[in-house]
Structure 1
Amino acid sequence: MRARKVPQEALAGLRDADWVDRSRRPYVRDGVAWVPVREGYPADGDLPERALYTGRGYHLIGEIAVLHGPAPTEAELAAIIAHCRPRGVIRVAGLAGEKRIPKIEVLSGTVGETVHREQGYTFHLNPAVVMFAQGNRTEKVRMAALVRPGERVADMFAGIGYFTVPAACSGAEVHAMELNRAAFEYLERNSIENHVEGRVRAEHGDCRNLLAGYYDRVIMGHFDAPGFLPAALAHVRRGSVLHVHSIGPAETEIRRHLQDAGRAGTITVHRVKKYAPRAWHMVQDVTIS
């Protein structure tokens, strides 16, 4: 792989660089990133292709490897450590309560705060304290592509900013709401880190009490989102779009809430990822008519 050597902190500034080969991922180690180079552009060297990893699935969030599901075997854990050399490895057993606090087990090394870079965005977080929707990567990309400059967007469950930051980078004015104090503090920090603090109004508290005025787009990135529709529907108008997340289909419940609110709309369903056997994480795009 032809690559250029750059400081890790410079990765975010390369999102629009012509020479970057976006079909491959950068290789980062010890604060240095080797960024794949497109044909026809100079490179600093050639890196050997990394061996294909076929072991236990995991997500790498910054320097922390995160596992879900049952505890790994010693061999599985050793294979993960050899493959990505993380600072620490944790297993997330679930999320507790409406604040979505991770229930974790430290399997190796140390955890604590880390910096995660994804598609040109930078996120500070502690994955042992706040959740990070790593599996929603394609949905984040889709949101960033759908948002238009100048839109007024409500992010009702903003977390650390995983939808807020891409939407604001696309030119939206984002009203970001988060109930978890730790996640809210990272939301504010990540807005500044990604230079969109001027387009983000972050508020700490229950989104049902914070919604104000009318929005062109409402992002409802929580599996209990259908139950929050009565509050959201009071702040939309014709042409507004709501992105309602759920586990499994929620069209029937959405249509009931639309009827109760005296609204009409079209519903388009997207599958995000497999959540469990016979269960999908889904997003219903509801366009108000």
Structure 2
Amino acid sequence: MATNIGIMDSAYFVGRNEILTWINDRLHLSLSRVEEAASGAVQCQMLDVTFPGVVPMHKVNFDAKNEYDMIQNYKVLQDVFNKLKITKPLEINRLVRGRPLDNLEFLQWLKRFCDSINGGIMNESYNPVERRSKGGKERSVKGSNKMPNNNHHPPPNPRQLKPAKSAQVQVLSKELADLKISFDLLERERDFYFSKLRDVELLCQTPQVEDLPIVVAVKKILYATDANESALEDAQEYLDQSLGVEAEDEGNGEQEEEEEEEEKTQS
């Protein structure tokens, strides 16, 4: 199982549109942004598709809007990870905030993992809507959101609400525009650094230099799979050991040359 996928794996070059198409096709949803999957319910059902019967869908809340309900979904997901012996760390505190980049990277990993199990082939016998309605907490009963009116207050005058609503719409529109700008900047920054890392990887794969100690040390950092620990220490240790051995070999060679020169002089 591809539970640990390095940052340079092709999985992390899959675009958000492809990720959204993958989710919507398999789960019969209509997500338009990756952060709409921040509740963890989509991830649970994707594993339900891949491993039928492993996910307790009756515990998955597709209506989760607040952080508490989202965390409960991720607890279900963590239990499934434990059952399947998946070692991928779940950074719940970052995912529930709905940050696009964090959620995109996790969904990229999830797609890569699920494809490694089923080869990217859809389970035609799986009914995602039925599984959500019968198994999960998908509460969409008509009229369930109606609240009793015990106070019998007269409805507000629509003309009085228009100025307030207009101001609120303007504020929300500005916030949305700012968020879109921030998202575009983050995406461009991410693509920039990925391209740099890819250039470094290709350079390290050059046959003439790929076995040099410094190149091997760099590849140790590039291909590290543990997201919680830095690989710099291991790479530095390897480099120090390699250079120490080389320095010792050079020293021995110089000593042998000096001894040979001394023997020639005496003879």
Same fold (TM over 0.5): no
Higher strand share: 1
Higher helix share: 2
> Which structure ranks higher in relative contact order (CA pairs < 8 Å, sequence separation ≥ 6)?
2
Greater gyration radius: 2
